[in-house]
Structure 1
């Protein structure tokens, strides 16, 4: 068939060559100097049409209307064949992308044919509907009416098509990228050059074959979208106002013009829409979050613009089609209120379900490694990787515990869940910054805005490790130990804790937190956190402040690159700058094969455990339970009358003890609201239940003999000498407690607790007489004598003026201290 003259004229005006089968195909479709991609192909003059008066009769108008529709039907048939010709090589190119010598990669195939199948389907539906309407016979003897087309209704067909016109927005936004891929691959690959320069289309009744370049075919949708508006304008002029189609065609023309206006604006500034006070709408951030509503969780793609939040559902590409986004909800930023809660408790059923997912992921990961080392081929590895990707998606949906609540002034609220506290803070920080700017929102064209998501998005896929083609050899597999020492730079005293997060596979919990410090400007933790990792490369550090009302605010955050070569040499001490706050920590990495995830969290009891074993397990010299109880007592109990002498409720003491045995963070949180006598009771109970007393039994007799020394100075020298021979955890914990008790006695005018009273309370718990076996440890001692020795020894130590200071933590052997800035 002959080439459409109008199309040829349009293409030639833009230097787009179109040749018949017998003509040579030119090498460059768009010469560089013409730069057609940098200029919007949809010109403003095509949007506004002069309303010229119609001088013909109604009958002539309807005759012209039918002729116009028949001409449109033919043009649609030609256009569909051109789209089919454009799509012809897509399937073969997609298949070759999975081979060892692809013509185009999967990403390049997607870029070249982006939205083309959907546009073809849309026009195929319109063409079929229009063809059926034009073929319908007239009612009864209304042949003349059928000829004039008075009963012919087509407005609904145009409206149906224009409701999907957002597909063209995606195509136009991707056009430059598609042409760039075609040019690049044409120049670099002879196979693709042969294909791209000889695209064939059979048109017309005589099936004349027309040769196009691939770039010429890619231009067809750009030209076609403007013609829809022109056809609608002409069709409306040939439709009488009393015709049943008039209102529908008017609405269709309005939609078409509105779409072209938006395309022209985006072509000048693809991400921007002018808001009401000269600020442009821009995409600031996007990413995957979990949208929680009515007890259900759904993975969503969230887009943060200058003036609004847009939540969308990503529809993955299937059967050659491209990714699409479906609108879920949006909230204007003006007046938006945020509230976040860290570490929500999961139900036992949810934890069990997550453990099952993690166990399956671990097995699939092992299968992938076996495939990589064996000879089962690529298909088995691809199946395992696909299953692993599905498991990761499930975990990504059901594991997040950090909640971000959004409350709009209109009364609408949404809850987002994130697995990373660091990421939650990034979202919250940026949203609050934009909200404070008080951006006035312009109601968005949701169809256009959602359709543009594929083009605008910065984040292509959910953060899945299973999608990595090649594992990074620099990633860590084993145990990462982080000792959080202290922080400084707080603007006001706060209960603070530090959260550390690692990336990598989701086989294990990817974050750990210190307990909440005592209210201070310089929090001190000296707490070791251990994380099992597989594929970790980055450590994130977040410092969080808590108030008495349990409100939380992030004081600062930073990320640290994990370097296996440095961390395997031993502890690496560094100061991490999180804005104004500085956190000092030590890092160590122990590489080893990872074990399957555990079904239940490991229990780390602290009561009834030898103090040297407990201190070694915690990596400290003074156990955390001792330090936390002492700090809490000194924070709010120093004026308590009878402190340490008055007993707390036994059931509350037992409950707090159980918390310390199961989870230090939860215990400290519970301790904040417990009666101070309960806290002091837990501290006394800890020392009383030590399997061996804090002062070793073999030193009891030596200390008893020192009491016979009349010279007080000589007695104290002798007692300090005995203390020096104690194991370090025993000695430093004893000294730490003695200094605390002396501070308590400094306020004896209020709390009525003198040094003697305190020695009487603690003496029997700290020292015990040895068990006599075969007379090896000297003569036995009756209970009254033992009590006197216990009290007098502790009382003498409390009176010592040069009592050594206690070390609370072990020194970490490190090289020169490093500093990591935000």
Structure 2
């Protein structure tokens, strides 16, 4: 009786015509023994024909349920397609001067919707093919009607569908942001309001048009995922226990119910875990980092809660699929010390592997682009998926093994962990977030590690490691070519400081995507005017970090950071910007030149020597106007040596000077770090050694007699004018370095009362290295006089800037446009 009434009610709900009949007639056909109802354990009362009738009745209802699911899927697909209709038009307007939505907002509004459409299209097509196949089989069997319906299976389709329900996780986590953008834009933009208030779908079963609002369509996926469990309940209740689908549907129902239980929590619970004291442990930040260990670097997912850091490892990780986590370690925030240990250096063999991997990625990227071209022409390539998978594997390896920026974590219990990151901007995000919570923490509640680890899947904010290859083909308005950045100056410092700037770009890491300026002089408004160039592919964002070196040399301090979106419209023309960075504001110029990229080399580039090499060669190979060795040594002397008595006269350890020289010749990055910790007289001695070892002095040899004659001129103005002309005629690298050095020596001489180094003393030290006569044409006494007097007079002129034509010439060159400025690294000259 219950079975008949349930079936009858269901058919009526589904608008299926039912012939009137008496329930008792059917009962007499199915249950021939009246005692059966009182004795449910008996089975001998069933005869084979009657049992077959019961199975047929259940299978008929199962077919009705499946057809209803198919119709519902078709309607849902129409709704998703209607939701995606305006996406292409909105993307087109995003590149205009009056966009309806920005590219970032478009990505937020339609996040995961294309993936949901693909997921349900596959399910719909599979289910439709199975049902059509069953009907054709029934027609062929004739008298054995419904045997095909009993045999065909759909359980695997439902299992495949629920196994990918994690696709909904990203949509659901993003839903509130998407709705907020839609509501806000509907109120402020008439064009979007017209679109959002009337979106029509005309692909229904009866070809009638249904009208939706944008917000109503965004809710459809949320409504759909909650119905999945109900549909499986209904289908399972009408699937015989001995049917092949029964076990498959039970497993699908278990997975769906587990997923649904996480979604039914409140929005607060989605970002929190209950502690044993009844408190809430909030998730504040998460992301993928690399953990260093004795077994090598490992990719880990790091979760920052309000009271602790939890690190989990990915088990059975597959790109683009649901992730499972296993506990790795945790550290309470109470008493935690965070230390930025700077940048480490990879061993040579790892550097070689990284270079080879970048070259391999470039080749795979080119092959993928070629296969994409074939696909657009209608030629399907079966290698495309394989190439993309290989590209993702290579990028994942590079993501794990290339990071070198070190962040150390030390707990009060003596435990420590080391995190490696490839971006200084990302490192500072973590350091800032952790330090903020450390200051707010006074105690911690012991975590239930099993519960906390299990909660990571539903609490996480990031979906997967950031890999550019996962977004291949969807890169809109990204840069491929040469990106040039000039860092001009910075304002907003609270006190004078030496500052250097780190610039980073995203995209495929075929080439270096991070570079930094030299350290500025101690100033409230530091200036650099330094140009940095990147070879980029797929770049969309530029990030800048301002760093102030610490006084004790232990840990640098980040004073500001900011980012900006890169626009391909900035082509072949400099664009000057002011980038807000908290309390600071950075002035910079950017220019983009699109062009095909040259393949990266698979061999490790060998650094050319610095010492005993012509200065123009060193400047060119470093891409700077004044060699790094000159700038770094001079800046370090100004930072620590201005009050050192006899600086540049008292020599440091010859062994230490030779060691620092060797480091500059073999590893420039390591040398710049060694300068910060070396004894200051070793640094000054290294600078003197560099000028002494130059194959040709900064004042070229053929200028010697001209300089000597200029000194003999009786008129001061004529002497200054002649000296200016000689300086202008020097090669660019020589002239830039001379001006830089003279300004540095003048700053040293300003502290003569402490360091006892007057301009004459400095000229005596540097004269023989900066100017040399032609061989065997002058006696040594005259040679020394000329060398010292040239340096002394030049530095003295710079101490009287209001009267100096040389100073006026410097200021005139500083006012030139950036594109005309041959050496923009001029320093401040104080009056």
Q: TM-score range by the shorter chain?
A: 0.5 to 0.7
In the TM superposition, what is the alpha-carbon distance from 1:190 to its structure 2 partner? 5.7
Partner of 2:408: 405
- From the superposition, tell whether residues 749 and 714 of structure 1 become closer, same or farther in structure 2 (CA, over 3 Å): same
Cα 1:459/1:686, change in 2 over 3 Å: same
Q: Residues of 1 paired with 2:669 and 2:415: CA distance?
A: 34
Contact 2:339 2:555 in 1 (8 A): no
Q: 1:514 aligns with which of 506, 510, 517?
A: 517
Of structures 1 and 2, the one with the larger relative CO (CA 8 A, separation 6+) is 1
**Alpha-carbon distance in 2 for matches of 1:312, 1:89:** 39
Verify: 1:626 aligned to 2:630, yes or no.
yes
> Is the CA contact (8 Å cut-off) linking 2:572 and 2:593 kept in structure 1?
no
2:290 paired with 1:290: yes
Q: Does the Cα contact within 8 Å between 1:111 and 1:177 map onto a contact in 2?
A: no
1:544 pairs with 2:547: yes
Q: Note if contact 1:571-1:587 (Cα within 8 Å) is conserved in structure 2.
A: yes
Q: Is the 8 A contact 2:553 2:676 kept in 1?
A: no
**Matched pairs, number:** 640
Q: Could you list the runs of 5+ residues in structure 2 that have no partner in the other structure? A: 17-40, 43-57, 82-112, 124-161, 176-198, 207-220, 821-831
Q: Distance in 2 between matches of 1:175 and 1:472?
A: 19
Secondary structure in 2 matching 1:644? coil
Give the number of the structure whose residues are more often helix, by fraction.
2
111 and 623 in structure 1: CA distance in 2 versus 1, 3 angstrom threshold: same
* CA deviation map 1:300-350 (0-9, x unaligned): 222333333333334458899954333334444344332232322222222
Instruction: Determine whether 1:424 maps to 2:427.
Output: yes
Distance in structure 2 (CA, Å) of the matches to 1:799 and 1:271 = 67
The answer for the alignment partner of 2:790 in structure 1 is 793
Partner of 1:737: 741
Give 1:575 deviation, angstroms.
2.9
Residue 818 (structure 2) aligns with:
813
Give the Å deviation of 1:20.
Answer: 7.7
Cα distance in 2 between the residues matched to 1:753 and 1:357: 53
The answer as to 2:495 corresponding to 1:498 is no
Q: Within 5 A, what are the aligned runs for 1:334-413? A: 334-374=334-374, 377-413=380-416
Q: How does 1:105-120 map to 2 (within 5 A)?
A: 107=116
1:746: Cα distance to partner?
4.9
Taking structure 1 as reference, are residues 620 and 437 closer, same or farther at Cα in structure 2, changes over 3 Å only? Answer: same
Q: Which digits, 9 at most, give the CA deviation of each residue in 1:159-205, with x for residues without a partner?
A: xxxxxxxx99x99x979979x9xxx9999676999x98995865457
- Structure 2 CA distance for aligned equivalents of residues 208 and 274 of structure 1: 41
Secondary structure of 1:287 counterpart: strand
Q: Residue 526 of structure 1 contacts residue 620 of structure 1 at CA under 8 Å; is this kept in 2?
A: no
Give the unaligned 5+ runs of structure 1. 9-17, 28-65, 68-77, 115-166, 226-258, 773-779, 816-822
Alpha-carbon distance change, 109 to 200 in structure 1, aligned in 2, over 3 angstroms = farther
| Partner Cα separation in structure 2 for residue 688 and residue 629 of structure 1 | 15
Alignment check: 8 A CA contact 1:643 1:753 kept: yes
Deviations 1:330-377 (A, max 9, x none): 444344332232322222222222223222211111111121223662
Could you tell me how far 1:721 is from its partner in structure 2? 4.6
Within 1, Cα distance between the matches of 2:554 and 2:241?
78
Give the deviation of 1:644 after TM superposition. 3.1
Match of 2:534 in 1: 531
Classify 1:176/1:478 alpha carbon distance in 2 versus 1 (closer, same or farther; 3 Å).
Answer: closer
Give the corresponding residue for 1:333: 333
Cα distance in 2, alignment partners of residues 431 and 411 from structure 1: 18
Q: Give the equivalent residue in structure 1 for 2:574.
A: 571
Distance of 2:599 and 2:399 partners within structure 1: 19
How far off its partner does 1:424 sit? 1.9
1:591 aligns with 2:594: yes
The verdict on how the C-alpha distance between 1:604 and 1:491 changes in structure 2, with shifts beyond 3 A counting, is: farther
CA deviation after TM superposition for structure 1 residue 542, in Å: 1.1
Equivalent residue number for residue 14 of structure 2? 25
What do residues 631-662 of structure 1 show as CA deviations (whole Å, max 9, x unaligned)?
Answer: 33333334544443444333333332333345
1:660 aligns with 2:649: no
The 2-side partners of 1:615 and 1:290 are apart by 35
Distance 1:648 1:700, change over 3 A: same
Q: 1:812 to 1:541 in 2, by over 3 A?
A: farther
Q: Distance in 1 between matches of 2:453 and 2:614?
A: 62
**8 Å CA contact 1:276, 1:441 repeated in 2:** no
Which of 640, 648, 672 does residue 652 from structure 2 map onto?
A: 648
For 2:462, the equivalent position in structure 1 comes to 459
Following superposition of structure 1 onto structure 2, how do residues 672-683 of structure 1 map, counting pairs within 5 Å? 672-683=676-687
Look up the SS of the partner of 2:281 in the other structure: coil
The CA RMSD over aligned residues, in Å, is 5.2
**Residues 275 and 441, structure 1, Cα contact 8 Å, conserved in 2:** no
